[in-house]
Copies of this chain bind each other. A is one copy, B any other.
Amino acid sequence: MAAEAGQGFRPLDEASLIAYIKATPALASHLGGGLESITIREVGDGNLNFVYIVTSDSGAIVVKQALPYVRCVGDSWPMTRERAYFEASALREHGRLCPDHVPEVYHFDRAMSLIGMRYIEPPHIILRKGLIAGVEYPFLAEHMSDYMANTLFFTSMIYNTTTDHKRGVAQYCANVEMCRLTEQVVFSDPYRVSKFNRWTSPHLDKDAEAVRVDDALKLEAAELKSMFIERAQALIHGDLHTSSIMVTPDSTQVIDPEFAFYGPMGFDVGAFLGNLILAYFAQDGHADQANDRKAYKKWILKTIEQSWNLFRTKFVELWNKHKEGNGEAYLSDIFNNSDLLSVAQKNYMTNIFHDSLGFGSAKMIRRIVGIAHVEDLESIKDANKRALCERAALNCAKTILKGRRQFENIEQVIVHIQSFDQE
């Protein structure tokens, strides 16, 4: 901490933030002439950062500041403020590739670890909260498949030269502290005794222990962990769960890419799908006499299916559109007939599919027996009921993780998910 504290960094509070904004035209300009009317609300409900909504008579912005520790734990868990640099970089890069679904960055101050960006206004809410409330988002699959196809395709070797790719890889290698956090909490702790692990106890005591002694599961998790570390396939968001997405029925905005680095595409796609599957298994815990959630569960499954199928379709469309471009992986004078290109695309998408199933199920497992749980399940107050939902999700995830290469399409996965329904 001490080493990072100097060199122009100071943690802001509401008063000093106002002064900072007034001195920063890139921020002040978005608040119009009404700087005297500024109001500030701190809304950081995440685990890591401080987030301020700054409103004036004529505009609003969001200001986010990273402190040199994990907010929800305190300064006993130090964490580099440099994550703000990678968040700002990824927001800008992904925003360039998919401006409809990424908020614009107005200002980045590396010394202050401070990002000023577009305010994602009401009625946007965190997707996870919408999923808990049972709200349908008819464009969610469409928008998220747009986001994933564009951000992943255009930062892959199918589109880029090796020179550009390695420049990006080198840049994001420095986001190693965030990668290490993921390695620990997703791929390691759930599979060993760790003081950070927790689960619904005593209900899931045996289930948690079963994860720790399941050799086949541990082999798969280790294989995915190595892929996560070694495979620089695209600039991924790195934390694409349903709390990193803000929605209204017709808008979808992806935020918080502070874990961004060049990693396997399936880690993003899997995070999104895996968190939808968790939302699915949580529904029984939210059902009541007024709403049995059966129709909503169907909508979630449909959204999972459409998200993957649209992603696959759009990714291949981008590939076809840019097949004569500068991408190094599949050169047009080698992949010079449509049958051959088509087989290459099918193989490529099948690999992303299996990777996504692996990473998605690993992320489900860690949300049930690891350190960080999801509100979808945590908000089920009845522990018996919650444990039943969690066990169904856990068993589903374990079988997908171990058998992911057997699935030929998302429809088979949907059938598999339903087979773990409590009824």
Whether B176 contacts A173 by the Cβ 8 Å rule is no
10 CB contacts below 8 A, A to B, read A157-B230, A162-B176, A169-B173, A183-B328, A192-B331, A218-B340, A219-B344, A221-B334, A222-B329, A222-B344
A304 to B344: give the CA distance in the assembly, Å: 32
Tell me, yes or no, whether A167 is within 8 Å of chain B by CB: yes
A416 to B231: give the CA distance in the assembly, Å: 32
Whether A215 contacts B173 by the Cβ 8 Å rule is no
Considering only CB atoms, which chain B residue lies closest to A223 in the complex?
Answer: B347
Closest 4 pairs between A and B when the two form their complex, measured CB to CB: A170-B173, A166-B173, A170-B170, A192-B333
Considering only CB atoms, which chain B residue lies closest to A160 in the complex?
Answer: B229
**Known interface pairs A162-B183, A163-B180. Does A215 touch B339 (Cβ–Cβ under 8 Å)?**
yes
A70 to B227: give the CA distance in the assembly, Å: 35
Whether A231 contacts B229 by the Cβ 8 Å rule is no
- Chain B: minimal CB distance from A64 (Å): 25
Segment 28-78 of A: residues with Cβ below 8 Å from B = none
**Known interface pairs A218-B340, A340-B218. Does A331 touch B166 (Cβ–Cβ under 8 Å)?**
no
A230 to B167: give the CA distance in the assembly, Å: 13
Whether A167 contacts B173 by the Cβ 8 Å rule is yes
Contact residues of A with B, CB < 8 Å? 157, 162-163, 165-167, 169-170, 173-174, 176, 179-180, 183, 188, 191-193, 215, 218-219, 221-223, 225-226, 229-233, 328-331, 333-337, 339-340, 343-344, 347
- Chain B: minimal CB distance from A352 (Å): 12
In the complex, chain B residues whose CB is within 8 Å of the CB of A174: 166, 170
Considering only CB atoms, which chain B residue lies closest to A336 in the complex?
Answer: B192
In the complex, chain B residues whose CB is within 8 Å of the CB of A232: 169, 230-232
In the complex, chain B residues whose CB is within 8 Å of the CB of A191: 334
**Known interface pairs A173-B170, A176-B163. Does A347 touch B229 (Cβ–Cβ under 8 Å)?**
no
In the complex, chain B residues whose CB is within 8 Å of the CB of A333: 192-193
Instruction: Identify 17 new A-B residue pairs, CB closer than 8 A, beyond the known A165-B229, A222-B335.
Output: A157-B229, A163-B176, A166-B179, A167-B173, A169-B169, A169-B173, A169-B232, A192-B336, A215-B340, A218-B340, A219-B340, A219-B347, A222-B344, A229-B329, A230-B233, A231-B231, A231-B232
A183 to B330: give the CA distance in the assembly, Å: 11
Considering only CB atoms, which chain B residue lies closest to A162 in the complex?
Answer: B180
Whether B173 contacts A226 by the Cβ 8 Å rule is no
- Chain B: minimal CB distance from A210 (Å): 14
Whether B229 contacts A334 by the Cβ 8 Å rule is no
Whether A329 contacts B225 by the Cβ 8 Å rule is yes
- Chain B: minimal CB distance from A234 (Å): 9
- Chain B: minimal CB distance from A264 (Å): 9
